[in-house]
Each structure stands twice: as C-alpha cells, then as structure tokens.
Amino acid sequence: MSDPKDFISVADWPAKALWEILDRARELKRLNAAGQRPPTLQGRTLAMYFEKPSLRTHVTFASGISQLGGHAVLLRPEQVGIGTRESPADVARALSRWVDGLMARTFSHSLVEQLAAEATIPIINGLTDLLHPCQAMADLQTIAENADVTAATLTYVGDGNNMVNSLMLLAAVLGLRIRIATPGSHPPSARVMKRAKELAASSGATIHWTESPQEAVKGADFVYTDTWTSMGQEDEAEQRRRIFAPYQVNEQLLEGAPDAKVLHCMPAHRGEEVTDEVLDGPRSLIYDQAENRLHSQKAIMERLMGFERR
C-alpha cells in the first residue's frame, strides 16, 4: 500500500509507515551527530506558509530541508492573501507548478485540507487549531529514546487542544496507552476522540479520559502538558487560568508518578501550566523534544518529497 500524499493527520497513515518514519528520524539524528547530512532532498524546494507566529516550526523545517540539500521559501499571509487575493485552490495549484512541497501552519484545519485536496504536491500540516501531527511525531521519538514506547503510559494534563488531539490519534494508530485529564468544559475534540476510539478498536490502544489529573498521572511513565491559552485565545487567558489552575504540572502532582519524565511542546507559560522547578528539573525532556522536531520532520519530508515519489 502506498503512502498518503500528505501529512495532515497521523490518523491518515498506517502504523507500519509511522514506525518507519520514527526509525528514519532516529537514524537521521545519529547521522547528524556524526557530522553526516545525506543530501536526500538535493534540489527540492519546500514552501512554508505561516498564519501563526513560530519559532520551532519555522527553524526546524527551514534547517531540516537545508540539511538534506534542499531549500525553503517563506510565505506570509499578507503576501499570499488566501481567501482575499486568491482562493485556496488557485494557491495550491500554482504552488504545485513551482515547488516540491508545502508546509502550512494555519488557524483553520479545513484550509490545510483544502490545500491538500487541490495540490499535486505533498502538504504538511505544520499546526492547525485541530491538530499538530509533526510535534506528535517528535514526541514519539523523544519517548522512544527514553523507554519502550509500546510498554509506556503517557499522560496528558491540561487543555483539550490540538496537541492532545494528535497524541491521542498517534496512540490510537500505534496501539499505545494514553491517559488524558482535562476539565469537563475543555475536553479533546469529540470528532477526534470518536476517530481515535475507532482506530483503537483495531490497534488495541488504551485511551482513557478523566477530569482528575491525580487519577491520570498515577504511575505514568511520561506526563505531558501544554499552554492553557493557545494562539487566538488571548481574550480568554484570565478565565482559562482560573479553570485550569488544578491542572498545573508541579512537584505535588508528580508525587503520583515518581519516575515520570515531563514533556511540553513549548512555548511554555512558566508558572501556569507547569512550574519552573519541573520544567528545568531532571525529569524534563523539553529540549530533547524541541531538537527532535528537526529530525522527525526531516524524516517526514524525505518520505513525502523524495525523488522516488515523483
């Protein structure tokens, strides 16, 4: 079975292919540490479209394709004018004539789906309000560096946002164990939860949601959190701080998981969803996660944009 054309959601991909991407990411990291950067995307161009601010996504995609011998072109919304100057379909069709792939970081998930439907080149979801699949793959790599992924329990504590949606789907495809603790007012996407449960029925994954962070964290191998206020939600920040206060990842909460490592996709609102003591302590793997964005995305780009795909 051939791979999907695009990397929009991990739920679109078979488990075998995701494990292969993980293996290649780990190999690319090893090669990079040895001073070797195979030019597998020599002459390839990746367009990068950003509606949202970015540090990790921008730098890791641009550096990643450069390390593989290719080149990145930055596109800003005021330059492209999707929905004002041009339709998503026209942008996708034009870019398909010029570049070899498009990474899009947008508010609307449907926009990325529209671009993918019209483009003949691969579309990579660099983040939408619904999903963040590239970060989830970097997280998988980070967990695999520290434990047997298939035996580990991952707990997510906080907002039911794009990050937990993607982690839930990844666990569902690969047959992993994930526990999720969010307030009842801010659960993961019902649409994503339904899809994850369908996938889990085949893969044997365990997906458990609760409102109790203490219940979710107990005995976990990895505890993951993310900002309580995502981009575009700034007007809700004060209300969210009140709602999510019991979900802060701190030393007291982690007493229920004495051996757990801590994950955060960053940027972090220190003193809100996680304390400095935890984030900067020996449990923290946050900078490994950030580094692994580079290598996991190189593996994704190779898989989608390699010459054998053309």
Q: What does the alpha-carbon distance between residue 289 and residue 12 come to, in Å, rounded to a whole number? A: 23
- The predicted pLDDT at position 310 comes to 41
Partners of residue 284 on adjacent β-strands: 262
User: To which H or E segment does residue 286 belong?
Assistant: helix 286-305
* Cα distance between the two ends of the chain: 16
| 114, 226, 283, 303: the active-site residue | 226
* Domains contained in the chain, CATH given: 10-132+291-309 (3.40.50.1370), 147-284 (3.40.50.1370)
Structure tokens at 123: 């579309």
Residue owning tokens 């900067």: 280
| 56, 109, 265, 289: the active-site residue | 265
pLDDT string in tens for the chain (310-residue length): 689 999 999 999 999 999 999 999 999 999 999 999 999 999 999 999 999 999 999 999 999 999 999 999 999 999 999 999 999 999 999 999 999 999 999 999 999 999 999 999 999 999 999 999 999 999 999 999 999 999 999 999 999 999 999 999 999 999 999 999 999 999 999 999 999 999 999 999 999 999 999 999 999 999 999 999 876 777 888 899 999 999 999 999 999 999 999 999 999 999 999 999 999 999 999 999 999 999 999 999 999 999 654 4
Question: Active site includes 226?
Answer: yes
Radius of gyration over every alpha carbon of the chain, rounded to an integer in angstroms: 19
pLDDT (tens digit per residue) in 40-81: 999 999 999 999 999 999 999 999 999 999 999 999 999 999
Question: Active site includes 293?
Answer: yes
| 179, 293, 295, 303: the active-site residue | 293
| 44, 56, 105, 177: the active-site residue | 105
- The predicted pLDDT at position 232 comes to 72
CA-nearest of 218, 222, 217, 170 to 196 is 170
Structure tokens at 231: 């981009």
Q: Return the DSSP state at 42.
A: T
155 Rama class: left (phi>0) / alpha (psi -120 to 50) / beta: beta
